[in-house]
Amino acid sequence: MNIGIVCYPTFGGSGVLATELGMALADKDYNVHFITYRQPARLTGFRANIFYHEVRVPTYPLFDYPPYESALASTLVDVVKNNNLDLLHVHYAIPHASSAYMARQILLKENKYVPIITTLHGTDITLVGRDKTYAPVVAFSINQSDAITAVSENLKEETYRSFQIEKDIEVIYNFVDVKRFSKKPIDAFRKVIAPDHERIVLHASNFRKIKRIGDVIQIFKKLNEAIPSKLLLVGDGPERPMAEALCRDLNLCDDIRFVGKQQEMEDIFAITDLFLLPSEYESFGLSALEAMAGGAPVVSTNVGGLPEVITQGENGFMANVGDTDQMARYAIDILKNENSFKKFKANAKHRASTFDITRIVPQYENLYARLYDGFCREKCKEQVVMK
């Protein structure tokens, strides 16, 4: 089967999931075509049946803003026609679902129909999609999809509350390759970060306001006062200058490292003792799941899809948004006792195993097969009628 995957090529959850899905499908002998404006960040190494198609956006003085949606639709038409794609799987509603719909309408003029699956990831519904500027297009594009999936039950319900959706939304959770993330810690790596055997705390994100990076630092400050620790901040984004200034104001620069965007997260998760995710909202929390697969318990906020991943008091703790005191107490509870800490680590790994790639990817394969078989049956009916 030839599958087209449209996604954002960034380190965000939707881009990571889409890329990991495409690579997993390629390992199962699907031909996978990534269509986006830059090669996806997680798309590394060579696979003979993975293809990348760059969306080139023309720039003219006439345009104040490059017309990416139109360029994407045109690229989709070209890729579908010239590579015999059997279906398009678009991740994130804006503008991918609307571009896919536009492309399909063009292809229909040439008697070519391609099924569209739209996977909703979070802020395309909870933040951007609610903007009145985009809402009608978002709702229309989702409804025009042949299948809709969401990465959590919470996001599914949020979508129904926010839009007039006329079709069923199927929940297919984000996944993690547990085998890949179950790496042995590199002792030399850990010693560089924590030379005096301090606990290593991690936060990884795109440093947007919704991630509440300031809360991460405030939680760490309280934890560090009770238990000697080091904080690794992985990622980059608009909140980084604020976070760096806060570290200086709190005199924490010696204990906090900003390491920027990282490709190989497995080695970092392997030395992590605790993962902090005090976000204002998370549709699922893929970074938390990856941390758990590496054996790190999670302290997070009790929002969005996180309660579907974290079991309170077993593999981590959740608190209300902004309650840094409570989250710090939870962090201390996890790390202060070695026996309890080892139990949290084991529980985190076990919980992550329920979202293993071997369990989740077949759900997408079943969806593809249902759509493709249904399309083929309809095509056969049309040919019989024509005869």
42 to 6, 37, 204, 295, 328: CA distances (angstroms)? 14, 14, 15, 21, 32
Rounded to whole angstroms, how far apart are CA atoms 351 and 292? 8
How confident is the model at residue 183, as a pLDDT? Answer: 83
Mean pLDDT by groups of 10 residues along the chain of 387 residues: 91 84 94 93 84 88 78 95 95 90 93 93 69 81 94 93 91 94 86 94 95 97 97 96 97 95 89 97 93 97 96 97 97 94 96 96 95 67 43
How confident is the model at residue 375, as a pLDDT? Answer: 66
How confident is the model at residue 386, as a pLDDT? Answer: 40
How confident is the model at residue 10, as a pLDDT? Answer: 79
Which letter, b or e, does each residue of 84-112 get, where b requires 16 or more Cβ atoms within 10 Å of its Cβ? ebbbbbbbbbbbbbbbbbbbbeebeeeee
How confident is the model at residue 246, as a pLDDT? Answer: 97
Beta bridge partners of 257: 232
DSSP element (H, E) containing 358:
helix 357-386
- From the number of C-beta atoms within 10 Å of its C-beta (0-12, 13-18, 19+), residue 180 rates as middle
Rounded to whole angstroms, how far apart are CA atoms 267 and 183? 7
Domains belonging to the chain, first-starting first, are 2-175+357-386 (3.40.50.2000), 178-353 (3.40.50.2000)
Rounded to whole angstroms, how far apart are CA atoms 176 and 333? 27
Rounded to whole angstroms, how far apart are CA atoms 226 and 201? 14
Under DSSP, the state recorded for 65 is: S
Backbone angles phi and psi of 170, in degrees to 5: -95, 130
95 upstream amide cis, omega within 30 of 0 = yes
Number of other CB atoms surrounding residue 81 within 10 Å: 15
Backbone angles phi and psi of 310, in degrees to 5: -100, 130
Rounded to whole angstroms, how far apart are CA atoms 186 and 300? 26
pTM of the model: 0.88
Torsion angle in degrees (nearest 10) through CA of 158, 164, 165, 171: 10
How confident is the model at residue 131, as a pLDDT? Answer: 67
Rounded to whole angstroms, how far apart are CA atoms 319 and 321? 7
Chain CA centroid to CA 29, Å: 23
Number of other CB atoms surrounding residue 158 within 10 Å: 22
